[in-house]
Each structure stands twice: as C-alpha cells, then as structure tokens.
Amino acid sequence: MVAVSALVAIVVVLVTPTAAGGSAGIPPPPPAPVVSFGDAALHGIPAGALSSVVIAMAATPDGRGYWLACADGVVDALGDATDEGSAVGPLASPVVAMAATPDGLGYWLASADGTVMAFGDAPPLGSVPTGTVLAQPVVAMAATPDGLGYWLAAADGGVFAFGDARWLGSTGRLPLVSHVVGMAATPDGGGYWLVAADGGVFAFGDAGWFGSMGERPLDAPVVGMATTPDGGGYWLAGADGGIFAFGDAPWLGSAGGSVPVARVSTIAATPDGGGYWLLEPDQFRYALTDPSPATAPHGGAVVRAALSQLGINPRSVTANRPHHYQPWNAAFACWAWQRAGIRIPSYPQSRSVFLWANQHERVLRRSALPAPGDIVLFGAGAASPRTSVAAGVVAQVWPDGSVLAVEGDAGPGAPGHRGVVLVGPFRPSLSAELNGAPVYGYTQPR
C-alpha cells in the first residue's frame, strides 16, 4: 500500500434500507452488502468501517457463518465463524481470494502476486515463489476436501497446485476471449472448474462440464462461481447480480436488474447446496486512510468527496449532474477535485479532463504508479471522445500497481442511470476486460 503519514480516517457510512421494494416511478433502494437466497441466512456485516474493499467470502461448514476478507488482508468473522486472524502490516499485493479449511477453524488468503497466508489450523503449504513474474495476476483459489492442499488460478487460466492438490490442466496457453475470474473444486478433489468473465466454463480432471454462458450475450460480466455439494452442478454470478444455474444447481433467485447500482464481486454457496450469498462490496462502510501529503497533497480530500457519493444515483445528485446528453463519470471526477479546492472546470468528457491536465503538466503515463486522488482515464487515448471513454477517482494503490477506484456512472444499467461504485482492486493491464476499456493515463491534482 502507498506510504502513509498523518493517519486520518475517511469514513463513509452507507445506510441500507430494510425494505426490498419501491413505489412506482421511484428507483428501488440500494442493495445490502450481502444478499442471500434459498437457505443461505444472513449473519450480519462488520459493525465498524472497513479499511479496504471487501474482496472475498467463505462459508463455515454448517453454513451458519461466513468470513469476509478485505483487499488489505483484514478478515471479519460473522455468525459462528471464528476469528483466526488477519494479515499484519501493509501488503505488497492485494488479497483477491480466500478458502476455508474443512472444519472451519482456519482459512487461507491469496494475494494477486501468488502469496498465500494461512490462519488458524490452515497449514502453510506454499506460495508462488518470491520473484516469480506472473503473466497475469492470481484471481481465485480453491481448497482440496481434506484441507491439505489448494489451487491458485491466474487471470490467464494458469493454475498452481500446492500440498496434495494435483495439477490437472489449465488454460494458461490458450487464447481466451475473456480472463478467468473464478474457480471451484470437485468434492473429491479430483478436478476443478475455471470460469471466465464472458461466462465460459473450463472443466479439468473429474469435473463435469454442465454448460456455460460463453458466446451468449451478457448484461454484465461473470465475476465468480460456486459448486453444488455433489459436484453435479454449479452457479455463475454476474456483476449485476444475475445468476445462471447449470447441472443439478437449483436457481434460487438473483439480484439481476433489481437495483440501478449493483456491483457483485463474488458468490458463495451453502454447504448443503440449498442456497447462496452474493457479495456487493460498494455497499459496506469504509474508512480509508489519507495518503501522505508529500506524495498526494490533495488526495485525501478528493477521495473523501468521491466516497461520500457511493451508491447514489446521478439523478439525485444535482451537483454531479452534467449535460443530459453526456455520460457523467468525467463530471463526477471533476466534482471530486473541485470539492478538494482544485480549480478545474466541470468537464462532461474524460478527454477534456486529459487535455486540461496536459496543459497544466499534471499527466501521468499509463505505466506510472498513481496516487489516491488522481483521476484514472480509460480508453485508447485522448484523440477523440470515442477513444477517451471514462474516468474515475483513484482511492487506493498497492505497490504492485493494483488500483481501487471510485467511478461515477458505473455498475450495471444504462448510461446516465447508474451510480457511484467501487471498482477493483484491478491491475491496469487487465482493465480492458474488468472495466470495459484499458487505462491510458492518470491526471494529478497538484
């Protein structure tokens, strides 16, 4: 994580209504951080503000509890889940996945660089060797049924096996249409599945192939998968909360299309296969840390302003609303800078933000390491409005270059009808698939 001095908490409180519906003509309320279906019970959410975005979830063996893991390695235990510890100190790379031991008395956390941290009775079975340059970051993990092994899956479909987990194949050398986002293991540990963002499913070992969403049009990318207890089926979850059931996996409901700002990051199934949870990270309460004034003098104020709008629909935020015919993410980023005292016009297009910043010598190349408060620019470049397509506010940065951003007019839904969401952490090199466009640069609020 970025060096920090003069620690000041940036607290964002999101109020989640208890009602599930809305009156005619009124947008429904924002979703809960954890949404349950079937026999999956809600066991609460962390009482305090979190120090980083919630990135992973794992259920206890009886389904009466679950753990939530943040990108900085902090773990919250809820229900009958026991607190077995969290990562200590800043991480070189964000946590991206977790898996629990069979008895529920331990868990592993996996970082994007392939580092695995063990807690409780989870045995330390190894990590990707330090110094190894991965072609793509690790994005998922799965444990063997006896808890004596685990697999890591990278975004290109490369698989790494540790302990008694057997390497049964990968897509590491195949030209994928979309990057891998999730992984699940068979009940006997003799196989595993990988799922890609386009809904394609790849089966290895004794894992059965029961269908996929590959080559079908999706409203939002797939973000994860979960399997039934007998291995005879699986669910795929979309970023908009849509659920696709295959094999003997029952369809128990979804959050797809129910809210204008749903940004699901993962799915976890109950041990009996009678239910599942969806995790919506931008609905939690967060307390991020002000960046160092030496490296980002305006960063803290910019991030505070951006985070204060999480989940809000643009139609209810007059100050953020640009011209009616333009997407408003660039105007939102300008607004956050203005709230921090930076005298930038309210540009409706991200290209205009770049051109203004270039005039004022505040542009960073896409290969640079940004700082909190910077504006990240998405697209092929600033040549025209069609090549510069979006902008967001950088909220956190890890030493490996992974970024957590706050974006306006983001999440599922039609342009101009979406809200403010947390996106990431993501590697800028993977942004084209994660966020719909590559990163072409950053601007700094000096």
Q: What is the pLDDT of residues 32-44, one digit of tens each?
A: 899 999 999 999 9
Per DSSP, the residues of 243-301 read EEEEETPPP----TTSSSS----EEEE-TTSSEEEEE-GGGS-EEEEPPPTTT-TTHHH
Cα angle at 383 between 221 and 421, to 5 degrees?
A: 35
Structural domains of the chain sorted by starting position, each given as residue range(s) with its CATH number in brackets: 31-283 (2.130.10.10), 293-443 (3.90.1720)
Q: Give the separation between CA 205 and CA 190, rounded to whole angstroms.
A: 6
Q: Mean pLDDT, the chain, as a whole number?
A: 86
Let me know: does 190 contact 142? Beta carbons within 8 Å. Answer: no
For residue 398, the SS3 value is: coil
Let me know: does 208 contact 231? Beta carbons within 8 Å. Answer: yes
pLDDT-derived band at 15 (thresholds 50, 70, 90) equals very low
Q: Output the CA torsion sign for 227, 124, 57, 1.
A: negative
Let me know: does 120 contact 105? Beta carbons within 8 Å. Answer: yes
C-alpha R_g of the chain: 21
Please state the φ and ψ torsions of residue 38, each to the nearest 5 degrees.
65, -135
Amino acid in the structure at residue 234: Y
pLDDT-derived band at 408 (thresholds 50, 70, 90) equals confident
pLDDT digits (tens, 9 = 90+) for 60-104: 999 999 999 999 999 999 999 999 999 988 899 999 999 999 999
Could you say which DSSP state residue 361 is in? T
Nearest to 444 by CA among 336, 318, 296: 296
Q: What are the start-end ranges of the H helices in 363-403?
A: none
For residue 36, the SS3 value is: strand
Let me know: does 181 contact 222? Beta carbons within 8 Å. Answer: yes
pLDDT digits (tens, 9 = 90+) for 128-146: 998 888 989 999 999 999 9
